[in-house]
């Protein structure tokens, strides 16, 4: 039974990363109509920024400020990418955005690999989150509990921002009809840049959260992003709540598979993806793209 709970926890943690990453992808896809293949590389950059902040002798900025600083730094990098490259793809086929962002991902990962190799760099768990709690039925490492709860809060806050606020109403409206929203006096191009920055910032935040668990590696995002895209396909592109729920749910399903049938744990997500594509090609909550 202990092992089941442990796998459920691992599932929830993976689910947190799936949810944060697929949420960012959904936000970006909705507004820019771009399937952001650079997402994994930007997640990795988030972890590296946290690592640099901590290990730079002059800065030595710790985990807590990094949770804010890294998403901002990587978000700005993303906004520069959008202004200089992605914006020229407006109105073109999805394939162009996919190829461009895939190329960006390869370049970014290549540069980091060149300087840091492929092995992981350690990032310590902050003192406040060290140790564990005995919950009676299982032992819970505090940091892992923190990741699950914090991710959930960030996901819900993002959902609230998009579905319930005035700013979110601009975003939803501009997703439907950017020309008209602009003709109402909203600077839509600037909003698109900020939206890309927000999606990228969420990826970087996931990178910081993941650094103490998974170490900091140039290819940490490349490995993860394949599963995240499967999650996005299952959940359906473009639905905010859909990507959050699917992210957590698939993490848990993966965890349960590890317990009941470990051989299938690496493939279960892809098997589900095939099944969903056969039955409902737009994904569980998606609208036709």
Residue 169 C-alpha from the chain's centroid: 23
Q: Which of 179, 278, 279, 288 binds another protein (CB under 8 A)?
A: 179
Among 120, 159, 182, 222, interactor with another protein by CB under 8 A? 182
**In the complex, minimum distance from the CB of residue 31 to another protein, in angstroms, rounded to a whole number:** 12
**Nearest CB to another protein, comparing residues 182 and 219:** 182
C-alpha angle 87/233/163, rounded to 5°?
65
Nearer residue to another protein within complex by CB, 194 or 204: 194
Q: At its nearest, how many Å lie between another protein and the CB of residue 197? A: 19
Alpha helices in 56-137 (DSSP H): 63-84, 94-116
Task: Name the minimum Å distance from CB 195 to another protein.
Answer: 15
Is residue 181 near another protein by the rule CB under 8 A?
yes
CB of 175 to another protein, least distance (A): 7
d(CA 70, CA 7): 29
Q: Measured from the CB atom, is 187 or 267 closer to another protein?
A: 187
Q: Note whether 188 binds another protein by CB under 8 A.
A: yes
Which residue in 187, 271, 274, 275 binds another protein (CB under 8 A)?
Answer: 187
Q: Tell me if 184 contacts another protein by CB under 8 A.
A: yes
| CA 131 – CA 143 distance, rounded (Å) | 8
Residues that bind another protein (rule: CB under 8 A) add up to a total of: 18
Question: In the complex, what is the shortest distance from the CB of residue 286 to another protein, in angstroms, rounded to a whole number?
Answer: 14
Question: Is the separation of the CB atoms in 168 and 58 below 8 Å?
Answer: no
184 CA to centre of own chain: 32
Cα 96 to Cα 4, 15, 174, 200, distances in angstroms:
43, 29, 21, 19
DSSP secondary-structure letter at 37? T
| Region 117-176 residues binding another protein, contact defined as CB under 8 A | 166, 169-170, 172-173, 175-176
Q: How distant, in Å, are the alpha carbons of 54, 61, 113, 176 from that of 65?
A: 10, 7, 26, 36
Residues that bind another protein (CB under 8 A): 166, 169-170, 172-173, 175-177, 179-188
């Amino acid at each position: 039974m202990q092992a089941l709970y442990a796998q459920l926890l691992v599932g929830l943690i993976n689910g947190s990363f799936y949810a944060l990453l697929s949420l960012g992808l959904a936000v970006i896809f909705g507004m820019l109509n771009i399937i952001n293949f650079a997402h994994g590389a930007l997640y990795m950059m988030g972890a590296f920024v946290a690592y640099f902040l901590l290990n730079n002798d002059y800065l030595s900025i710790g985990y807590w400020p990094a949770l804010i600083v890294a998403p901002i730094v990587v978000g700005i990098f993303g906004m520069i990418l959008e202004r200089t490259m992605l914006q020229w793809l407006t109105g073109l086929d999805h394939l162009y955005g996919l190829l461009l962002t895939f190329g960006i991902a390869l370049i970014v990962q290549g540069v980091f690999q060149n300087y840091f190799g492929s092995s992981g760099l350690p990032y310590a768990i902050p003192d406040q989150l060290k140790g564990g709690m005995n919950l009676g039925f299982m032992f819970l490492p505090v940091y892992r509990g923190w990741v699950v709860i914090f991710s959930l809060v960030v996901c819900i806050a993002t959902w609230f921002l998009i579905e319930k606020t005035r700013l979110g109403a601009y975003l939803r409206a501009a997703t439907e009809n950017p020309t008209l929203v602009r003709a109402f006096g909203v600077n839509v191009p600037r909003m698109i840049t900020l939206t890309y920055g927000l999606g990228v910032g969420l990826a970087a935040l996931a990178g910081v959260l993941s650094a103490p668990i998974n170490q900091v590696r140039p290819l940490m995002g490349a490995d993860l992003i394949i599963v995240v895209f499967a999650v996005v396909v299952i959940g359906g592109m473009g639905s905010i709540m859909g990507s959050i729920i699917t992210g957590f749910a698939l993490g848990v399903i993966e965890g349960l598979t590890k317990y009941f049938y470990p051989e299938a744990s690496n493939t279960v997500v892809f098997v589900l993806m095939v099944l969903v594509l056969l039955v409902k090609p737009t994904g569980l909550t998606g609208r036709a793209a």
